[in-house]
Chains A and B, each alone.
Chain A
Amino acid sequence: MLAYAVKRALGAIPTLFILLTLAFFLIRLAPGGPFDAERQLPPEIEANLNQKYHLDEPLYQQYGRYLWDIARGDFGPSFQYRDLTVNQLIADGFPVSLRLGLMSLLFALFFGVMLGTLAALRQNSAADYGLMTVAMLGVSIPNYVLAPLMILVFAVYQGWLPAGGLGGWQNYVMPVLALGTAMMAYIARLTRGSMIEVLRSNFIRTARAKGLPLRLLLFRHALPAAMVPVVSFLGPATAGIITGSVVIETIFGIPGLGRYFVQGALNRDYTLVMGVVLFYGMLIIVFNFIVDLLYAWLDPRVKYA
Chain B
Amino acid sequence: MSATSATAPPPRRPAEPRGPAATRRADRRGVELCLLVAAVGICVYGYAEVGLARTGAVPKDAAAYGGGLGGLALLAHAAVRAGARYADPLLLPIAVLLNGLGLVLIYRLDLEPSLGPRAAPAQLVWSGTGVGLFIVTVLALRDHRVLARYAYVSVTAALVLLVAPIAFPSVNGARIWIRAAGFSIQPGEFAKVLLAVFFAGYLSANRAALAYAGRRVLGIDRLQLPTGRVLGPVLAVWLASVGVLVLERDLGTSLLFFCLFVVMLYVATGRTGWIAVGLLLAAGGAAAVSANEPHVHQRVQDWLHPFASIAAGDGPSQIAQSLFAFGSGGALGAGLGQGSSALIGFAAKSDFVLATAGEELGLAGLCGLLGLYALLVARGFAAALATRDPFGRLLAVGLASILALQVFVITGGVMDLIPMTGMAMPFLAQGGSSVVTNWLIVAVLIRISDRARRPEPAPAAVPAAERAAR
| Chain B associates with chain A | no
Could you tell me which A residues sit within 8 Å of B by CB distance?
Answer: none
